[in-house]
Structure 1
């Protein structure tokens, strides 16, 4: 009994003195969602959700994290995503305890949540977050089927420039497949897909979803952008299946992927309802 009590006291001390630095918006969001926000002593310039994240000390941004600032803050753990290999290796070489996670697909996101829950004694919170994701995924089944869906990332105000789309090795692909539809874009390459207008017309998607968080609540600008895309000679335009998601979470692989899935569901329902009219 004394040993158990001692262990509990030790664990409480360790968690009470935890000093976390998060180096990506997605990781930061998940750490806060698990109830660990009061342990976060620093993050990056782009970690702005939840609101209190904005007031936490910043150690840099994408590709510009200051190792000197990290050293001065003396964190007990630094948590990051796997895309910045050099930074993660530098942190490890300096002797920091690091946790590094992939975020390519839905299972990666869920694993990150579960693993953080295990490591920081937040298993109940992690289970709830993952159940919410699973429930949202289940809800998009059997709404419409076999439609070619193209997700456009940060669309520009012109169609003459490069068009960035969601490829086949990101979490958007999992969501599209779960809904019994297919990605209009296909390639075996894992690099970020970039297409031109001719390629887009050749793909002939049935539904286009524009991820435009920079236009949040800018209704007039959104309508202007949609009209530009509606002029294209493709099925999505002919059937008025051009949609915009203007929320920041739409491009962040955190627990808030649930929110994106819910928005995606509304789009599928709208497409279905048009066919029933």
Structure 2
């Protein structure tokens, strides 16, 4: 009877093992940008991440991942020590030399790209496909665009405030019109203002005032030069501090930022 019971337990264990996903054969990925780490978790694929760069703080589970340097200066030695099957890089942020070295070593590289809301949604879908979760990627992409389109419909036809987004206060750096932040401002019913076509621009207080913003969004964690800034700006300019983790990352959470901005620009 004891032998029969042991055999029954062994059979049950085998059946349970067959029902659970096989993790031994799953691929391992290293994220090279906090926004990509967020996106991987949003797709339900965070368990496949073996490493992530500094400042990866969303969701809380990401805090437990090994660090591989910063997103603009990844540590190749730390990346290789994690033996990833693939790396998830951010176009125009991950150094090209790092990408070339990873590819030369036979490591697959996914390049996340996009500035417009539609381009970002496509990258969410493509990331899902790259990580073996095509359905999750499609759902995240569709949900993101659904929320963005709802905001666009609500703000359509309303006057667009001129919005300057300050990502750093000293020296002052602002988001350009064609950055993902600029497109998020536009999707929320605002009009991003910035000189020229540069994505991220160093400007002076006088130049900022010359852009005649109705609203300034301050993403800098540091101290805002409120006194000097308010003195230089038109009297009716409003300044709002915005969480950089909300608006400063091209992840599915950017839809939350667009909703937040729309409520600032066009309160009910």
**Interval containing the TM-score (normalised by the shorter chain):** 0.7 to 0.9
Give the match for residue 103 of structure 2.
92
Match of 2:165 among 151, 154, 158: 151
Residue in structure 1 matching 2:131, options 120, 123, 126? 120
The residue that corresponds to 1:46 in the other structure is: 55
Instruction: Name stretches of at least 5 consecutive residues in structure 1 with no aligned partner.
Output: 1-8, 157-161, 216-220
Q: Secondary structure at the match of 1:58?
A: coil
Moved more, 76-85 or 131-140: 131-140
Q: Equivalents in 2 of 1:180, 1:33: separation in Å?
A: 26
Task: Report 1:105-184 matches (<5 A).
Answer: 105-138=116-149, 139-140=151-152, 141-142=155-156, 144-156=158-170, 162-184=171-193
CA distance 1:149–1:191, shift in 2 (3 Å) = closer
C-alpha change, 1:64 and 1:150, in structure 2 (3 Å) is closer
Q: Give the unaligned 5+ runs of structure 2.
A: 1-17
**Map of 1:57 onto structure 2:** 66
Q: C-alpha offsets along residues 99-156 of structure 1, whole Å, 9 cap, x if unaligned? A: 1122433233212210022233423322332233223323142373232211111324
Compare CA radii of gyration and give the structure with the larger one: 2
C-alpha RMSD of the superposition: 2.6
Answer yes or no: is 1:81 the counterpart of 2:78.
no
Shift of 1:22: 0.8
**Alignment CA distance shift 1:133-1:229 (3 Å):** farther
Q: Scaled by the length of structure 2, what TM-score is found?
A: 0.80
Distance 1:192 1:91 in 2: 27
Residue 255 of structure 1, CA deviation? 1.3
For 1:242 and 1:14, the matched residues in 2 are separated by: 49
1:194 equivalent among 189, 202, 208: 202
Instruction: Report the counterpart of residue 213 of structure 2 in structure 1.
Output: 205
> Residues of 2 paired with 1:130 and 1:191: CA distance?
24
Whole-Å Cα distance in 2 between the matches of residues 244 and 146 of structure 1?
19
Distance (whole Å) between structure 2 residues aligned to residue 28 and residue 197 of structure 1: 35
